[in-house]
Structure 1
Amino acid sequence: MRKFITLLAVIATFLFLVAGHFYWKEKTSAHTPVEKKEPVEAKEKAKTKEPVSVDEDLLTVSANWPKEAQDALMKAASEGRPYKIAFVGSESIGKEDGGWSVMLKDALSEAYGNGVEVGIFEYDEQSEAFITNGHAEEVAKFKPDFVLFEPFTLNDNGNVEVEDNHENIKTFISDVKGAVVVLQPPHPIHGATFYPDQVNQLKAFANAEGLDYLDHWSAWPDQSNEELRTYLQDQQSAPNDKGHEVWFEFLRDYFIAK
């Protein structure tokens, strides 16, 4: 009997201790702040930012451009602003009669949409007057990213020394600082003597200055071929419709890669 009473006392003590343990745990947990865990998905969203969507097709159609121009085009697209292109030169660029500059502007609009904005700047002057009359500043106000420049080589023929023409090009480039400048010659003419050499010197200047040079003469009939006259207006002062078409197609293939 004594042993039975002792066993009951041990069991009662054990049950009392267990009950006390659970009571204390419940009391303390009621006052302990519970850490709120942020869902994994929310954490991942906080860590990652969605990248800005840039149309990679721009790199394809602008594949022929200088790398610097391509990079600036992509940057403009990512910022949601148009990339500005300026066509600058003498009356041979055909702004007033629907020449290559107008046709190329339309083609660029179709290929790049609102991604580009084109300005056409035509001057019936020599390179000296172009600079001194402040026309370079007019182009600069357009704030172009890319300039295709025909630097009045034919207008300067017999009037402005080649070295001075090149200095005027340098002045123009400094005025449109920040823009990528690409050079091209005016149209070829039949039977010229000194003019082709001046154009060759323009090409050499471009190479020496690290400028891209678009030699569209390769798309025309040879200068010694009488057929060349059928691509030009009377007196060979500018291209006719046929000449503008040849010039346009050459430039289109450069600006809009297939």
Structure 2
Amino acid sequence: MKKFLYITTILLSISVIVFGHLHWKSKISTASVSANDDITEDSDANVNESEVEETESKRNLETLTQNLPKEAASIIIDSFNKGEQLDLAFIGSEAQTKGSTPWPELVEEGLKEAYGPELFTVHNYNFGDEFSIRAIRTDDMDSIINDQPDIVILEPFLLNDNGEVNINHTIDSIRIIKRRMVEENEEVIFMVQPPHPIHEPGLYATQINALKEYAEETDTTYLNHWDNWPDVTDEEIKQYILEDISGPNDEGNKLWAEYIVNYFTGS
């Protein structure tokens, strides 16, 4: 009888040990699976979040650049994605320096707000009251071209040339600047824009039309910021121009800058 009880006790002890081991092993396995599931879920969440951010960034860039020519949009998106800077050069007359905050400075603020502070480096090159046919031969113009800006927006001295330089010579000056820019940097984005409007422009209006025709004939982007101003036949436009008509006043600078910023930000 004692022997039977002894054997029974041993068997029960062995059973308890085996059952306990199997139960422990099962819990470890379950915990391991649960942990792996958590890791997988976290990993999937991170991947999905990254994909969403990338898609959203791409969508935002496409919206911001929707007004631009394909080449300009491409270089902006590519530079943004690579974290590279773009040199944007405004070239024109003294009108680019008028007012307490000239329009190129307002444009720079708008671009930085839309694209972030690192993408665009804005340079404002003004040639005062110089004629176009002289400006193209200056050391300053040589220096700008040698710097190889990525995007150039030229205001081609039309108001300076008004009544002094034949419009054909002004257009020839534009052709020379563009040709030299492309020779130095074949990927340069070259655009033109008129100077500021004035009340009842007369001959000046004829020059503006010639500039538009040049842009159409050469497939050059024409930034017609005059659309943002009051009509040139309306006395109201005088409220946006300095009395000596040499450039925009503070309110005129806002109108000019607003057009450029909207163009570059898909508005």
Taking structure 1 as the reference length, the TM-score comes to 0.75
> Structure 2 matches for 1:12-27, cutoff 5 A?
none
Q: Once the two structures are superposed, what CA deviation does each residue of 1:203-231 show, in whole Å capped at 9, x if it has no partner? A: 01100010111111122122221221111
1:150 maps to 2:155 = yes
Q: Is the 8 A contact 1:136 1:176 kept in 2?
A: no
Aligned pair partner of 1:117 in 118, 121, 136: 121
Moved over 6 A (4+): none
- 1:138 shift after superposition: 2.2
The separation in 1 between residues aligned to 2:155 and 2:100, in whole angstroms, is 17
TM-aligned CA deviation for residue 159 of structure 1: 1.3
Structure 1 window deviating more from structure 2 (73-82 vs 84-93): it is 73-82
- Could you say which residue in structure 2 is the equivalent of 1:208? 217
Counterpart of 1:257 in structure 2 is 266
Query: Deviation per CA, 1:63-85, whole angstroms, max 9, x where unpaired?
Result: 11110111112232343311221
Q: Following TM superposition, by how much is the alpha carbon of 1:172 offset from its aligned partner in structure 2, in angstroms?
A: 0.8
Structure 1 residues 56-104: Cα deviation after superposition (integer angstroms, max 9, x where no partner): 1322212111101111122323433112211111111237742111100
**Aligned pairs (5 A) from 1:68-147:** 68-94=71-97, 97-113=100-116, 114-124=118-128, 125-147=130-152
One-letter code aligned to 2:244: Q
RMSD of aligned Cα (Å): 1.9
Alignment map for 1:151-230 (pairs within 5 Å):
151-177=156-182, 178-230=187-239
Structure 1 counterpart of 2:257, one-letter code: F
TM-score, normalised to structure 2, is: 0.72
Kept after mapping to 1: 8 A contact 2:94/2:247 = yes
2:99–2:248 CA contact under 8 A, matched in 1: no
**C-alpha separation in 2, matches of 1:143 and 1:83:** 11
* Structure 2 residue aligned with 1:17: none
Aligned partner of 1:236 in structure 2 is 245
Structure 2, unaligned runs of 5 or more? 1-53
User: In 2, distance between residues paired with 1:134 and 1:211?
Assistant: 25
Shift of 1:143: 2.1
SS in structure 1 of the partner of residue 84 of structure 2:
coil
- Structure ID, larger Rg: 1
Contiguous gaps of at least 5 residues in structure 1 = 1-52
1:60 alignment counterpart? 63
Secondary structure class of the residue paired with 2:87: strand
Once the two structures are superposed, what CA deviation does each residue of 1:122-177 show, in whole Å capped at 9, x if it has no partner?
11111112111133322223321111111111111111111111111111112221
Does the aligned pair in 2 maintain the 1:90–1:152 contact within 8 Å?
Answer: yes
User: Which amino acid letter does the alignment assign opposite residue 67 of structure 2?
Assistant: N
Match of 1:26 in 2: none
**Residue type of the alignment partner of 1:122:** N
- The residue identity in structure 1 corresponding to 2:210 is Q
> Does structure 2 conserve the Cα–Cα contact (< 8 Å) formed by 1:88 and 1:147?
yes
